[in-house]
A and B are shown apart, each in its own frame.
Chain A
Amino acid sequence: MKLSIKGVGFSYADTPVLENINLEVDGSELLGIVGPNGAGKTTLLKCMNLILRPGAGNILLDGKEIEKIQRQELAKILGYVPQHSPKAFPTTVFDLILLGRRPYVKWGINENDIKKVTEVMKLLKIEDFALRYFDELSGGERQKVLIARALAQEPDILLLDEPTSNLDLKHQLEVMEIIKNLARKGGISVIMAIHDLNLASRYSDRIVMLKDGTICAAGEPNSLLTSESIRSVYGVEAVVVNNLERPYIVPIKSVDRM
């Protein structure tokens, strides 16, 4: 499934958040969206699956405008994992993942739904707490459950908003490995907004840098992540270590943006 974003703009009231965004994602790929706070990463993700309606431009799925696709059908193509979930009434992990079958079920659950849920739980190695309550889990376990729910939708494209925020070191790596495998072996396009430049560098096939609502640079991590680009986007002086497989960023101090 090919996702094309053409000239997309979005404003909250009178404040423009995104301007003239052009982007294309096709097939198995892990795309990282990076940029400072308020650059529009989350807004861009939300525009991609119509949680927000872009004020300008088009978003196309295999050439078809997403506004013309029914929400229910869209939910079979695009899975979304938000950064925060509101406090909710206690729900078991199984029920929460089963929710990902909402686009497919009428009312009753069939064998296939349970099979799909079981499969994604196995994939993320979370079968053991199927009947535990979501709010009793640790942050890392919760993140896996939310990814599992999005995968239960059987999406072609997975949108992740800060999948590693609030996770400890081990869980960050586990979650990123899962995401990478989905893109490599699962044939899913993954688009993630992510703060941690080193995780983005290590796992992304391609990175898009957002600044003030526009894409200011895009490309492979090796060519994109340089001291100059980090200084101009983040206003941070950083040393980029290049003798590893992927660039490794060591931030030094905050400076005025150029």
Chain B
Amino acid sequence: MSRSEVIHGNGTKSEEMRARYAKFIGRKVLFISILLILLILLMGFSATLGSARLDFVEVYCSILHNFFPGSFDAGWLAKTVVWKIRLPRIIMAVVAGTGLAIAGAVMQSILRNPLASPYTLGISSAASFGASLAIVAGVGIVGGEYLIVINAFLFAMLASLLIYGLSKRRNASPETMILAGIALMYLFSAMTSLLQYFGESEAVKEVVFWMMGSLGRASWRSTGIISAVILICTPYLILKAWDLNAIGAGDETAKSLGVNVDRVRIICMFIASLMTASIVCFTGTIGFIGLVCPHMVRMAIGGDHRFLLPASSVLGGFVLLAADSAARTVIAPVILPVGILTAFMGVPFFAYLLIRERRGYW
């Protein structure tokens, strides 16, 4: 900085500050925009992947056929594969990734803990137990596949209610919630193991498959349900961005800034649990995304929730879709469970980021 700037600094400094801040925000918006474009490109590319050997033109003619039936047409096989199998699966990957990443980001923020995620807080293991119970004890008796989904959902919500109940009896402090969540995770894992120990081998196999997480069960109906939950919950969470920012600075500071900390924490926890539950009950447990995507975004553009939440959601959708696309193609026609691929692809990349990161936090 030159001497004249220091001396006549008053006006220029504040102008300069404004310009620097605008640039600072601009970078975040650019980051989200680029991610969004990449996600859309990946969706387009992913539609052409798969064991049914359809070429690019066939795929896009099938997609466009639904919008402009007069101008585009494709074979029956292409239309069926694209509209019944690939598109629901692609959209499921995007919305599930979106929801898991946002839920993870919110849980980490309200608990001020980098390890918080649907996985570590017992919500995923509760869903697993619910599904296992349905598979081992009840499938085919009533409801068929929906019994599994509903059971998984109910147990996931039960876990979040238990965490809520436990922490309500004390104060809703982050430490209480995390300890309650981890304790529940062990409890539900143990109960799932018990079911597996006594279950029929066929059922146990199915339980194991369920727990690996897969998008293979995606349909327009399940995609629609998840999308609806996410479209309702996400705007609310983004609207609460300032409250989440304030809680990040500490409960006392947040209170002194006018935030009703306990209420925000409990509502946000409930919404994040609801999003997680409605996703994992259809997909099975998909770890990693909720834990790591928010950290990747924080490393890239910082922790301001006005940008962290949208960016995490787009990145979550991107990572899950990329992993699922790989899961469908690496050893096609065998489709690997996507839960395995997210970890295989994500962990090395995340390890690289951790090593490269120079800030003291990570």
Give the docked Cα–Cα distance between A70 and B257 (Å): 11
Residues of A within 8 A of B (CB): 46, 49-51, 70-76, 78-80, 82, 85-92, 94-96, 99-100, 102-103, 105, 107, 111, 114-115, 118-119, 121-122, 127, 130-131, 133, 135-136, 149-150, 153, 159
Would you call A96 and B249 a contact (CB within 8 A)?
yes
Is there an interface contact between B359 and A90, defined as CB atoms closer than 8 Å?
Answer: yes
Could you list 4 further interchain pairs (A-B, Cβ under 8 angstroms) beyond the known A86-B251, A91-B303? A86-B250, A88-B112, A89-B248, A118-B18
In the complex the two chains form, is A103's CB within 8 Å of B250's CB? no
CB <8 Å contact, A103 and B302: no
A133-B359 in contact (CB<8A): yes
Q: Which of B67-75, B237-245, B312-320, B344-352 contacts A (4 or more CB under 8 A)?
A: B237-245
Contacts A107-B242, A122-B13, A136-B359 given; indicate if A102 touches B258 (C-beta within 8 A): yes
Q: Mark B201-233, 1 if CB is under 8 A from A, else 0.
A: 000000000000000000000000000000000
Minimal Cβ-Cβ distance residue in B for A70: B258
Report A148 CB to chain B, min CB distance, Å.
13
**A89–B256 CB distance below 8 A:** no
Q: What residues of A have a CB within 8 angstroms of the CB of B197 in the complex?
A: none
The DSSP consensus for interface residues of chain A is mixed
Residues of B within 8 A of A (CB): 10, 13-14, 17-18, 20-21, 24, 108-109, 112, 114, 239, 241-243, 245-246, 248-253, 255-260, 298, 302-304, 306, 359-361
Name 5 A/B residue pairs within 8 A (Cβ), A-sorted.
Answer: A51-B255, A71-B258, A96-B249, A102-B259, A103-B257
Asked whether B361 lies within 8 Å of A135 as measured between CB atoms, the reply is yes
**Chain A residues near B21 (CB-CB < 8 A):** 94, 114, 130
Q: In the complex, A48→B39 CA distance in Å?
A: 50
A51-B256 in contact given A107-B239, A114-B18 (Cβ < 8 Å): yes
Q: Are B246 and A90 in contact (CB under 8 A)?
A: no
The residue of chain A having its C-beta at the shortest distance from the C-beta of B258 within the complex is A75
Q: B354 CB to closest chain A CB, in angstroms?
A: 14
Q: Which residue of A lies closest to B24 (CB)?
A: A131
Q: Which of B13, B17, B255, B303 contacts A89 (CB 8 A)?
A: B303
Q: Is the CB of B252 within 8 A of A80?
A: yes
Q: Do B260 and A89 touch (CB < 8 A)?
A: no
Which of chain A's residues has its CB closest to B13's CB? A127
Residues in A with CB closer than 8 Å to B361 are 89-90, 135
| Residue pair A71, B249 in contact (C-beta under 8 Å) | no
Most chain-A Cβ atoms within 10 A of its Cβ — which of B109, B253, B306, B359?
Answer: B253
A155: nearest residue on chain B (CB-CB)? B256
Contact A46 B252 (CB under 8 A): yes
Complex Cα distance, B239 from A242, in Å, reads 58
B260 A99 Cβ-Cβ under 8 A: no
- Residue of A85, A127, A153, A159 near B257 (CB, 8 A) is A153
**Residue among A74, A89, A103, A115 facing the most chain B CB atoms (10 A cut-off):** A89
Return the 3 tightest CB-CB contacts between A and B, nearest first: A75-B258, A80-B256, A72-B258
CB <8 Å contact, B17 and A118: yes
A50 nearest CB across to chain B (Å): 7
Most chain-B Cβ atoms within 10 A of its Cβ — which of A90, A114, A131?
A90
Question: Is the Cβ of B256 less than 8 Å from the Cβ of A75?
Answer: yes
Cα distance A55–B246 in the bound complex, in angstroms: 26
Residues of B within 8 A of A76 (CB): 258
* Complex CA–CA separation, A79 to B253 (angstroms): 9
Measured CA separation A103–B253 after assembly (Å): 12
Chain B residues within 8 Å of A115, by CB? 14
Q: Is there contact, CB below 8 Å, between A71 and B18?
A: no
Pick from B249, B259, B359 the residue with the most CB of A within 10 Å. Answer: B249
C-alpha spacing A89/B253, complex, angstroms: 15
Nearest-CB distance from B342 to chain A (Å)? 23
> Contact: A122 with B14, CB < 8 Å?
yes
Is the Cβ of B359 less than 8 Å from the Cβ of A130? Answer: no
Cβ-neighbour of A91 out of B108, B114, B257, B302 (below 8 A): B302
In angstroms, Cα B245 to Cα A121, docked, is 20
- Residue of B with least CB distance to A82: B252
- Which of B18, B21, B260 has most chain A Cβ within 10 Å? B21
Minimum CB distance partner of B109 in chain A = A89
CB distance from A92 to the nearest CB of B (A): 6
Separation in Å of the B233 CB from the closest CB of chain A?
Answer: 17
Which residues of chain A have C-beta atoms less than 8 A from B13's C-beta?
A: 118, 122, 127
Complex interface: chain A residues within 8 A of B10 (CB) = 122
A165 vs B17: C-alpha distance when bound (angstroms): 30
Q: What is the distance, in angstroms, from A46's C-beta to the closest C-beta of chain B?
A: 7
What is the distance, in angstroms, from B59's C-beta to the closest C-beta of chain A? 40
Taking a contact as CB atoms under 8 Å apart, the answer to whether B253 and A80 are in contact is yes
